[in-house]
Homo-oligomer: A and B are copies of this chain.
Amino acid sequence: MTSEQITELVVDIAKRARAASLELATLDTETKNRFLNDLAERLVAETDSIIAANAQDLETAKNLGLSQPMTERLTFTPERIEAMAEGVRQVAQLPDPVGVEIERLAPPKGFDLRKVRVPIGVIGIIYESRPNVTIDCAILCLKSGNASILRGGKEAFHSNMKLAGIIKETLRANDIHEDAVQFIPTTDRAALNVLLKQDDTIHCIIPRGGESLIRFTVENSRIPVIKHYTGVCSVYIDAAANADMAEKILINSKCQRPSVCNSAENLIIHQDAAALLPHLAKALHDQGVELRVDTHAKALLDGSGLPLVDASAEDFATEYTDLIISIAVVPDIKAAIELINANSSGHTESIVTDDAVAARRFLTAVDSAAVFHNASTRFSDGFEFGLGAEIGISTDRLHARGPMGLNELCTYKYIINGTGETR
């Protein structure tokens, strides 16, 4: 396609999404849920054709020499398609966020003034390899009354196109505006650039992917972006920590699933709890974790026989997503809070302590989306928070912070019922 054709294509998609969004905003819950349950059925019924489309992507992946983990994430199996369909049925079960009264205000003139939850409008989602994101994002946007424009990566292009086709058929079959979910049928980066400039018709961009994708989006978008950056999460073991609880929470936070954003990357320990360090370090080592230590921690672990790596300053700001941990010993809770606020990505931190005053201080002063007292960082998740679903975990502060569920895919409007009031 020429650059004019790409511009025309993307501008047209955005305009049609805006028109669809005005219809979607007033759609009843029953129709939305009927659509979702129908989509789940069709996905299962189309298992063979989805796997056939996916085979084309896997063939390309082989030719491109894609890594084993990337290829694995790209692959559809009948079980994965069934799991995806089950996710769709679960979203059908969730309460409809639209139209819920959030707050009743008390205006001085006394008219009836309510703040009511409504869809944002048109949401653009930009994502990378995993094709099930196409379904996840489409259904969360639709359930929350938003039109969506999906732009997936080239690795999953055929799988995505197939899924987008099934969504479109299901929209038509359920008499929903067929532009309610649209997939950009090209992976040309020029299309992304045009998309990010459509601030008259698109209201929000959510990039789901690596840091470079998010950076590119922020630097090129005129549309507000909700960022889901990395998770550089810390566990802080306070002077008054219970030793067993400290070990349990640390090991769970670091090791239960090290590849995800809510796993811990840093262990910070109060010098008065330093006696716990040799045992904790051994427990981490036994789980296969590499120990990167500051000078104070190194001195304390010197005779332990454990393999130690000197931690650099940047290590404390690094998301390893791997079995590696940075360890610092601090003189007091103030130093712990400062170290976290200077290095954290603002995602999730946890304090282990039996001291209620220390806990309160940490929970107040640590500037992260989720702050835990005596619990694993691994709970920082939409499902674990009881949101029922999540489109991601925002490391932004505006609009949505932390796990984003259906409510966070909505905005609000003020509805006033008067009896002829004037100023």
Q: Which residues of A contact B (CB under 8 A)?
A: 22, 25-26, 99, 105-109, 111, 113, 118, 120-121, 199, 203-204, 218-219, 222, 224-226, 242, 245, 248-249, 252, 256, 341, 359, 363-365, 367-376, 378-380, 383-387, 396-399, 401-403, 411-423
Contact = CB atoms under 8 A, between A and B. Distances in A.
A25 B359 CA distance: 16
5 contacts: A107-B384, A107-B386, A113-B386, A249-B420, A363-B415
Q: How many copies does the complex hold?
A: 2
Contacts of A22: 341, 365, 367
Contact of A121 (B111, B367, B375, B416): B367
A422 to B, nearest CB: 4
B384 A109 contact: yes
Nearest to A412: B401
Contact of A120 (B25, B224, B256, B397): B397
A398 B81 CA distance: 33
Given A25-B365, A418-B373, A199 B218 contact: yes
Nearest to A417: B373
B371 A414 contact: yes
A385 B105 contact: yes
B109 A414 contact: no
B105 A370 contact: no
Contacts of A121: 367, 397
B373 A402 contact: no
Contacts of A111: 375, 379
Contact of A370 (B341, B397, B413): B413
A77 to B, nearest CB: 25
Given A225-B224, A402-B413, A422 B370 contact: no
